[in-house]
Structure 1
Amino acid sequence: MKFVDRVLDKSNSYNYYKNNYEKIEKKYKKSIKEIKKLKNENTILNKNLSSSYDEIIKLQKRLGKFSKPIIMKKLIDEEYSDLTIAIKTPNPVGHHHWGDYFFAVALKKSFEKKGFNVLIHERENWYDTTVKADINIILRGKYEFTPMFDAINVMWNIYDPEKIRKEEYEQFDICFISSIRYANELSEELNTTVKPLLQCTDPDIFYSEYDDSISEDILFVGSTRGFYREIIKDIMETDFDVAVYGRGWPEFIDEQYVNGFFIPNEELHKYYSSCKILLNDHWETMRELDFPSNRLFDALACGTFVISDKIPSAETLFEGNVVTYDGVDDLNSKLEYYLTHDEERIKIAEKGKKIVLKNHTFDNRADEILSELKNLN
């Protein structure tokens, strides 16, 4: 029996859940005030504060029993304006150059189009109770989030899958994985609901806009994270030059190839649109577990021709309109071929763009998330 069906299974069940929720919520708010009072009185080590926190947890669990069915019914009835979503992004407060932050902003916009109230909580504000969120969406990168009992908790594992324990997944109402293959594997191992949900792009940010002043034959955008990335190592062994943007590269390559350390997100589409070939790669675990990178979606939305390291979904998702390579010789021959076959290169890029704009936008993903939430068991 589905979650929402259990709500409707009792006579007057909605009022039953709503009335009980309101009673417990009053106690919950009283306990929050008590904690703030104790903190103001500098009684951090006071037993009263510890017991108040214990009471908060108990009340949250009781609230969850009554609040989740109410949230589910509002979702089913599409009463979106009565619901608040909190998107939890791992970047620290004020660090708005992280890709996770841009991801959260784009997702926020797509849910707001549907009428939801949407907040972005940066890492220090993850557990902010100033405004109660009905649905928490955790963009799971480097840091673990402890779910809240009185909300529907959604994990979206975008990258770094090796850092997440199986026990962590089980705490969430539903887990989305940015790999079809890995989602299918996890769904066989876990009790919680696991679904694939790939990365995507925001067409308002990533679109075609050629700028001759920054045009390059071959472009790579990405930091080192302290490692000599394989695709850059490979191209350095070919007959071709590459323009590299990203932090940490002077440690690994000649500075003649380093064109800059940072491109603002709102300018990135121009660089993608103005190169003939964009190089893309994946961290080892993402490649092994078939997590296609966000750069593929963003670049294709700009009508950019992409050569990527070999990952199954790079070829299948975009119907062959992302070219992959296998080894230095293969990379060299493909660079030589596509730099001298303009019409074919442009045709491939345009096909890739159509596929992404039809199937892989944040609006698409918001629809998928809502569809899966409404079918929660």
Structure 2
Amino acid sequence: MELQKRLGKYSKPEILNNLLNEQYSDLTISIKSPNPKGHHHWGDYFFSKALKKSFEKKGFNVVIQEREDWYDDNVKADINLVLRGVVEYKPNYDEINLMWNISHPDMVEIEEYENYDICFISSEKYANLLNDKANTIIKPLLQCTDPDVFFNEEDDSVAEDILFVGVTRGVYRDIVKDALKTNHDVSIYGMGWEEFIDEKLIKGQFIENSELHKYYSSCKILLNDHWEDMRDMDFPSNRLFDALACGAFVISDKIPSAETLFEGNIVTYEDADDLENKIEYYLSNEHERKEKAQNGKKIVLKNHTFDNRVDTILDCLKNLN
């Protein structure tokens, strides 16, 4: 694959020397966000903003480049951090290039990973598989949350017993289908659901990111699911981290790390009957429900914030030869 060639501010050895000496204010990081220009309602854009803030705490100069601006010659970055979406980025020879694959592993070929100095993968399982195949540095780096955005703030005006937030993307998502087979109503926020469910269950098309924490904080049960390839390769979704940071109680489709990563404080289900039983049980056992939510919150705030992830990225960068 032909790579782009463009001079950055420093050569790679100079960049590495600045990193080792923690002269972060001399370095510029470009976060390549997969969202199209101006699409600031995408989760990828909020992810980029949170990542930018955590790097800036360390002293870096950080710019977010949306998809159409990835190759803007006016931006002279020393380090490119690509959030891999549905479009491939062609890295530059003269800069340090990092990929963070946070979703949809089936979209990336082995050869693409090998164009990067380090590839971070939001799945320990898939990172281990790639380590045996790709000729580059592969490191697991799970998704995470921003505690300044996702925190506990209950609001009775948006309180629901059972809540699901997410668009359909043209698919009747299994967890919603299974939940509606139970004896409970589900309050749904997201676009495209009119095609699949009774409109009375649709509470809204969109929740502002700045308000989402109130909805997570105020529901009794938050439902979570994963796209099939993410479930198969054990990519825990960002909603798990965000929801627990708000002190939400979560029932999710079955993904191994959902149970192990959060030490049993995420409840998973097998099928519609199992979901019915677990909804009934946890609605009737408020103390246990709240205990799991609070335990999960402590785990996330200690181990799974953007600040945690930036520390890991910097440790890996300092070990580059």
The partner residue of 1:257 within 192, 197, 201 is 201
Shift in Å, 1:131: 2.6
- Give the whole-Å Cα distance in 2 for the aligned partners of 1:338 and 1:129: 55
- Give the whole-Å Cα distance in 1 for the aligned partners of 2:149 and 2:53: 12
Q: What are the ranges of 5 or more consecutive residues in structure 2 without an aligned counterpart? A: none
Q: What are the ranges of 5 or more consecutive residues in structure 1 without an aligned counterpart? A: 1-53
- Give the corresponding residue for 1:67: 11
- Give the corresponding residue for 1:324: 268
Task: Kindly name which structure, 1 or 2, has the bigger radius of gyration based on alpha carbons.
Answer: 1
- Give the whole-Å Cα distance in 1 for the aligned partners of 2:34 and 2:85: 6
The partner residue of 1:299 within 243, 246, 268 is 243
SS for the counterpart of 2:231 is helix
For 1:192-341, list aligned pairs within 5 A: 192-341=136-285
Does the aligned pair in 1 maintain the 2:4–2:91 contact within 8 Å?
no
Does the aligned pair in 1 maintain the 2:97–2:116 contact within 8 Å?
yes
Matched length: 319
- Give the whole-Å Cα distance in 2 for the aligned partners of 1:258 and 1:250: 8
The partner residue of 1:125 within 57, 66, 69 is 69
Given the alignment of the two structures, is residue 76 of structure 1 paired with residue 13 of structure 2, yes or no? no
- Give the whole-Å Cα distance in 2 for the aligned partners of 1:361 and 1:295: 13
SS for the counterpart of 1:189 is coil
- Residue 205 of structure 1 aligns with an amino acid whose one-letter code is V
Given the alignment of the two structures, is residue 94 of structure 1 paired with residue 38 of structure 2, yes or no? yes
- Residue 197 of structure 1 aligns with an amino acid whose one-letter code is L
What is the CA deviation profile of residues 51-89 of structure 1, one whole-angstrom value per residue up to 9, with x for unaligned ones?
A: xxx9x966x4xx58x811110010000000000000000
What is the CA deviation profile of residues 298-355 of structure 1, one whole-angstrom value per residue up to 9, with x for unaligned ones?
A: 0000000000000000000000000000001110000000001111100110000000
Does the aligned pair in 1 maintain the 2:158–2:215 contact within 8 Å?
yes
- Residue 240 of structure 1 aligns with an amino acid whose one-letter code is H
SS for the counterpart of 2:46 is helix
Percent identity (aligned): 69
- Residue 181 of structure 1 aligns with an amino acid whose one-letter code is K
- Give the corresponding residue for 1:162: 106
SS for the counterpart of 1:150 is coil
What TM-score results when the alignment is normalised by the length of structure 1? 0.83
- Give the whole-Å Cα distance in 2 for the aligned partners of 1:141 and 1:160: 8
- Residue 282 of structure 1 aligns with an amino acid whose one-letter code is H
- Residue 141 of structure 1 aligns with an amino acid whose one-letter code is G
By relative contact order (CA 8 Å, sep 6+), the higher-ranking structure is 2
- Residue 179 of structure 1 aligns with an amino acid whose one-letter code is S
Shift in Å, 1:236: 1.1
Does the aligned pair in 1 maintain the 2:252–2:267 contact within 8 Å?
yes
- Give the whole-Å Cα distance in 2 for the aligned partners of 1:126 and 1:95: 15
Does the aligned pair in 1 maintain the 2:220–2:248 contact within 8 Å?
yes
Structure (1/2) with the larger helix percentage: 1
The partner residue of 1:184 within 128, 151, 154 is 128
- Give the whole-Å Cα distance in 1 for the aligned partners of 2:257 and 2:124: 9
Shift in Å, 1:288: 0.2
SS for the counterpart of 2:211 is helix
- Give the whole-Å Cα distance in 1 for the aligned partners of 2:249 and 2:57: 31
- Give the whole-Å Cα distance in 1 for the aligned partners of 2:41 and 2:301: 24
